[in-house]
Structure formats: structure tokens, C-alpha cells
Amino acid sequence: MGLFNRLTSSIRAKSRNRQTMVSAMPDYRDQMCDELKRALNDAVEELGVSMKRLKMQQSSLESCVLLLDTRARSAVSEGRCRPAAVALYHKSKALEQIQQISGYSEALDRTKTRLEELGYRLVVKKQKFQSEQYSVRSRYMVVDEADFFTCEAAAGMDEEMADVEYAIGRAKAKVDVASDLLIAAETAAYSYEVQSSSGDEIPDEELAEAMRMARALISGGDLH
């Protein structure tokens, strides 16, 4: 009996040690997931800020369109062809920028929605992984077996984190493009507000087309 009791105690002690070792196995996915979630939230916030700035700049350009339209109408009514052509040219460019900004704002909004969906999925995946991890480690296995099943349970988690990381990178690239659009739009809006009637900066072919339109308007056309 003494030998049997000693063997039983030894086996139980080894089992407890193995269980302790399994429970203590490090897994850094939780920390990585939390860091990734913070980065995702930052990216969502940056997208929101960019969208607001683009909307403000779009409003500024829309004001420029009204200003340029007034200049064009005034020049047409006075029979001044070149000033009318310059105003018409800049008005068309402002409208193009408005369309570009509006389209890109919609793209940013879709990206923001996508990131928010990925953030929700990441949280769900993390909870599922933790549940599976706890289930694996609660069994009486040797460390190697527990490690194998833990890695198997983590496969979906790793894929999800990779998707999120890729999406964050794409979102940051879009924010950079939005910044370039803002700079170009701000510069253009300023030039529209202070532009002279010379039109020297306009390419010859485009100025010629604007002059043709201005002459048609002066001759009795309608300015839309």
C-alpha cells in the first residue's frame, strides 16, 4: 500500500505540474489584439477627421463656384470675353474638384464602415479564441498537446488580425491621399478668390475653348 500510495501521489503531482505548465503557457495574441484594436480605432478617427475636412473644403469650393458664376455673368453682360472665359474656366475646374472630393469622401466613408465591421469581428474572434483556449487548457493534457490545440484554435485569430492590419494600412494610405486633395483644393480655392482676369496660367487650348464659350454667351447664349 505504501508503494501504491507513493506512485499515486507522484502521478497526481505530475498531473498538477503539467496542468500548471499548460495554464502558464504564454500567448501574446490577446495583447496583440488589443494593440491592433487601438490602432484600428485611431484609423477610424483619422478617417472621420478627414471626411469632416473634405466636407468643409467642399463647401468652400461651392462658395467659389457661386463667386465665379457671378463674375462670369457680370463679364458676359458687359461684353468682356476674356474675363468671362477665365471665370468660366475656373468654375469648371472648381466643379471638377467638388466632384472629386465628394467621391473620395464617399470612399472614405465606406472604408470607415469596413474598419468598424472588422473591429467588431476582431472582438468576437478574440472572445471565441479565449473560450477555445480556456477549453483546451482546462483539459488534463501534457504541454505539447495543449500547445498544439491552442495553436490550432489561434489560426482564425491570426488571420483576422492580418486582415485588420492590412485594412488599417489601406485606410492610412487613403487618409494621406485625402490630405493631398485638401491641399490642392485649398490652394485652388484661394486662387479662385483672388484670381485676376488675365488667364495667363490657363493652357492655351483650354483657354481657347473657354473663350469660344464666352463669345457664344455674349452673343446671346444662356449661362448655366
Residue 61 clears pLDDT 50, i.e. is over it: yes
Average pLDDT over residues 130-138: 66
Q: What is the rounded CA–CA span in Å between residue 92 and residue 222?
A: 16
pLDDT tens-digit series, residues 92-133 = 999 999 999 999 999 999 999 999 999 998 888 888 777 776
CB 151 within 8 A of CB 57: no
Within 78-142, where are the H helices?
Answer: 81-137
Question: What pLDDT, on the 0 to 100 scale, is given for residue 34?
Answer: 86
Question: What pLDDT, on the 0 to 100 scale, is given for residue 223?
Answer: 54
Q: Which helix (H) or strand (E) holds 215?
A: helix 204-218
User: For residue 54, how many other CB atoms are within 10 A of its CB?
Assistant: 21
Instruction: pLDDT band for 155, please (50, 70, 90 cuts).
Output: low
Average pLDDT over residues 193-204: 74
Question: What pLDDT, on the 0 to 100 scale, is given for residue 33?
Answer: 83
End-to-end alpha-carbon separation of the chain, Å? 106
* Backbone conformation region of residue 202, classed left if phi is above 0, alpha if psi is from -120 to 50, else beta: beta
Domain extent listing, the chain: 2-66+106-207
Q: What is the rounded CA–CA span in Å between residue 96 and residue 87?
A: 14
Residue 46 clears pLDDT 90, i.e. is over it: yes
Whole-model pTM above 0.75? no
Average pLDDT over residues 57-80: 92
Q: What is the rounded CA–CA span in Å between residue 7 and residue 2?
A: 9
Q: What is the rounded CA–CA span in Å between residue 83 and residue 71?
A: 8
Question: What pLDDT, on the 0 to 100 scale, is given for residue 23?
Answer: 44
Instruction: pLDDT band for 21, please (50, 70, 90 cuts).
Output: very low
More confident residue, 49 or 150: 49
